[in-house]
């Protein structure tokens, strides 16, 4: 394989360097999932470099809590991976008892923590994929009364309990969980939020449109994650059992899906049929 063929492959492996710390054996300070200045992961009181802040402010929920429907809010925080502005979206789900579950949690600034706490008591922290351990330690310290439910590969995290297929009673009616099979190094679970019909995904779908420029655009393009909703090359390359993967995609009740809320990029509130077709064609 020549250099031109190897470069995209190697770049794709590195694109998730911020999220796949454990797998890539990065230094312990990063593996622990603490806030890391090089990654700018998590909301921070420190002033963000203007190039990061300017670009991520295109996300409509960047560092502000936005209501997406009854009992569902989102909030995006900075995440810079290899110099590209990936950002990370937290999803806040209100359960039947009024308590909250945070999906893909990170430590929050006091102001953001106040905004989230104003919605209800934070009872559950849910890490839906092995790639989203970054920020969990800081979230636990800040929201120490909350239980931590994690994907299969993250059971090594202190205090972690397995994310069950049937969610605890207070969330069972709000979220239908669909584990994505066939990817033993990812173990992502996606959720259908029943009140809104929004499909909550972590890395299954990225949605970076054409407004992203410069280095971020180049990296997203190399990752196969640029120009609208996409399944990245790395995510595809993690599939080890295609039949199990397809079975999971088919288990998503697509007729009820009204939109997609990804962890990275913009939310998508139309043309979900295109995403369904794309996933079913893998």
Q: Which residues contact Fe ion (rule: CB under 5 A)? A: 19, 131, 203, 263
Q: Residues in the chain, how many?
A: 282
**Smallest separation (angstroms) from Fe ion to the CB of 104:** 7
Residue given tokens 């919605």 in the structure block: 119
Query: Element (H or E) spanning 232, and its range?
Result: none
- Complete DSSP assignment for 140-203: HHHTTTSEEEE-GGGTTSTTEEE--SS--HHHHTTEEEEE--S-TTT--EEEEETTTTEEE-SS
**Smallest separation (angstroms) from Fe ion to the CB of 88:** 7
Q: Is 200 in contact with 103 (CB distance < 8 Å)?
A: yes
Q: Is 188 in contact with 128 (CB distance < 8 Å)?
A: yes
Coil, strand or helix: which one is 10?
A: helix
> Closer CB to Fe ion, residue 41 or residue 146?
41
Query: In the 3-class helix/strand/coil scheme, how is 117-135 assigned residue by residue?
Result: HCCCCEEEEEECCHHHCCC
Backbone region of residue 63 per phi and psi (left: phi > 0; alpha: psi in -120 to 50; beta: other values): left
> Closer CB to Fe ion, residue 133 or residue 203?
203
Tokens read off for 21: 């710390």
**Smallest separation (angstroms) from Fe ion to the CB of 245:** 17
**Smallest separation (angstroms) from Fe ion to the CB of 19:** 5
**Smallest separation (angstroms) from Fe ion to the CB of 132:** 6
> Closer CB to Fe ion, residue 19 or residue 170?
19
**Smallest separation (angstroms) from Fe ion to the CB of 108:** 18
Distance of alpha carbon 127 from alpha carbon 155, whole angstroms: 11
**Smallest separation (angstroms) from Fe ion to the CB of 199:** 15
> Closer CB to Fe ion, residue 86 or residue 245?
86
> Closer CB to Fe ion, residue 63 or residue 263?
263
> Closer CB to Fe ion, residue 73 or residue 264?
264
Distance of alpha carbon 153 from alpha carbon 162, whole angstroms: 9
Backbone region of residue 9 per phi and psi (left: phi > 0; alpha: psi in -120 to 50; beta: other values): alpha
Distance of alpha carbon 93 from alpha carbon 171, whole angstroms: 8
**Smallest separation (angstroms) from Fe ion to the CB of 200:** 13
> Closer CB to Fe ion, residue 201 or residue 252?
201
> Closer CB to Fe ion, residue 263 or residue 272?
263
The residue of the chain with the least Cβ separation from Fe ion equals 203
């Amino acid at each position: 394989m020549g250099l031109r063929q190897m470069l995209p492959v190697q770049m794709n492996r590195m694109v998730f360097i911020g999220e796949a710390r454990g797998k890539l054996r990065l230094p312990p300070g990063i593996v622990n999932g603490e806030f890391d200045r090089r990654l700018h992961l998590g909301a921070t009181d420190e002033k963000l470099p203007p190039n990061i802040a300017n670009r991520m402010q295109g996300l409509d929920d960047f560092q502000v809590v936005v209501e997406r429907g009854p009992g569902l809010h989102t909030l995006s925080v900075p995440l810079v991976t290899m110099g590209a502005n990936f950002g990370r979206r937290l999803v806040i789900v209100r359960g039947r008892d009024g308590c909250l579950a945070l999906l893909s949690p990170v430590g929050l600034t006091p102001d953001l923590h106040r905004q989230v706490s104003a919605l209800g008591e934070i009872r559950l922290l849910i890490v839906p994929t092995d790639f989203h351990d970054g920020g969990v330690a800081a979230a636990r310290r800040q929201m120490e009364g909350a239980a931590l439910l994690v994907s299969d590969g993250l059971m090594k995290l202190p205090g972690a309990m397995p994310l069950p297929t049937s969610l605890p009673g207070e969330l069972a009616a709000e979220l239908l969980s669909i584990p994505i099979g066939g990817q033993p190094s990812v173990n992502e679970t996606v959720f259908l939020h029943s009140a809104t019909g929004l499909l909550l995904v972590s890395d299954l779908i990225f949605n970076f449109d054409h407004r992203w420029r410069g280095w971020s655009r180049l990296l997203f393009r190399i990752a196969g994650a640029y120009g609208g909703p996409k399944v990245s090359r790395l995510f595809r390359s993690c599939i080890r059992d295609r039949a199990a993967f397809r079975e999971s995609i088919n288990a998503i009740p697509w007729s009820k899906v009204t939109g997609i809320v990804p962890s990275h990029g913009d939310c998508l509130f139309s043309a979900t049929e295109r995403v369904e077709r794309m996933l079913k064609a893998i």
